[in-house]
Amino acid sequence: MYSRIRPWLFRLDPERAHAATLRLLQLVGALPPLAALVRKASALSPEDPIDLFGLHFANRLGLAAGYDKDGLAWRGLACLGFGHIEIGTVTPHPQPGNPRPRVFRLIADQALINRLGFPSRGAAFVASRLRGRRPKHLILGVNLGINKDTPLDSAADDYTALMRIFSPLADYLTINVSSPNTTGLLGLQQSAPLSDLLGQLGPHKTTPLLVKLSPDLGDIELDSALDVLLRHKVDGVIATNTTLTRPALSSPDAGEAGGLSGAPLARLSRGLVGRIYARTQGKLPIVAAGGILSSQDADAAMEAGASLVQIYTGLVYRGPWVVKEILDTKQNG
């Protein structure tokens, strides 16, 4: 069914199409009869639970941050069968992000390029969207970022404020220091700034805390970052964010600036997962994100060392039933 709808959806500007999809999913979450129909169509049998970070996940597949930035449609998205959903990236104060156009479909490559720059309605708005009814068995994460005008040496203030707001509302929190679209943010992955940041956040930690890393880290940079994560006893790592590199691409918009996601990211993301697993000897739980468009991609990420996987671009290209497809294939395969 989605293959018939997608050509019409792809006639729209990517952000308009995404907004329309979120409105539909928001409607699903708001209307119990419609939610029940979607849950029935997405039902999985059997479940494949896992315990991680002190949390019980109904299955290993989640929705990556970036899809539902402001917490508009997560209850409807939960009806698709996700074991966890990560909201955000959320910034303390509302900000518009970068000028449009800022999202580009690379259809021939099953990829996206975005230079969104953390558009966010702000922490107060998102917090209001997370209060109230929670779908049964859903693990909810919130991805935290800094405002564009926040100096990097004050980044801990933004993250701390967000932790105070969202720790009572979320099951885990993710510190985003790897978006390529916020000036200077990637520098927070370096050993000294990362250690200083986590040292300041540590006293405020009451909820499992993860850190999201870039796929573009070299071996020395990765080793240094992992030493810091282990030393500060973070609960897990998400690998990866989007990449600034450009593997061989076929689409006309391949040269646009921004972070690349989707199928071309699979090799980089899987490689980083394997490097993290080897360097930490499996001591740091890994959530694989990037290039997950099929059950084969999910299996490959877990074989590389991931305990959980997340999708985003795969949902854009494959549609809502990709969730059931990935989970049913894994659980019954």
**β-bridge pairing 172-176 and 139-144:** parallel
179 is catalytic: yes
Beta strands, E only, the chain: 50-52, 55-57, 61-63, 84-90, 103-106, 111-114, 139-144, 172-176, 209-213, 236-239, 259-262, 286-289, 308-311
What is the four-CA torsion angle of 75, 79, 84, 90, rounded to 10 degrees? -30
The CA distance from 265 to 272, in Å, is: 11
Q: What is the Cα–Cα distance from 44 to 221, expressed in whole angstroms? A: 40
Going by DSSP bridges, is the β-strand pair 111-114/259-262 parallel, antiparallel, or unpaired? antiparallel
In whole angstroms, give the CA distance from residue 267 to residue 183: 26
Report the amino acid identity of residue 287.
Answer: V
Q: Are 160 and 201 in contact (CB under 8 A)?
A: yes
177-to-59, 197, 246, 259, 279 alpha-carbon distances in Å: 27, 10, 21, 14, 20
DSSP letters spanning 238-274: EE---BS---S--SGGGG-SSEEEEGGGHHHHHHHHH
Pairing of strands 236-239, 209-213: parallel
Q: Which of 42, 178, 179, 294 is the catalytic position?
A: 179
CA distance 90 to 142: 8
Q: Which residue has the tokens 């859903």?
A: 138
Chain-centroid distance of CA 210 in Å reads: 11
* Catalytic residue list: 179
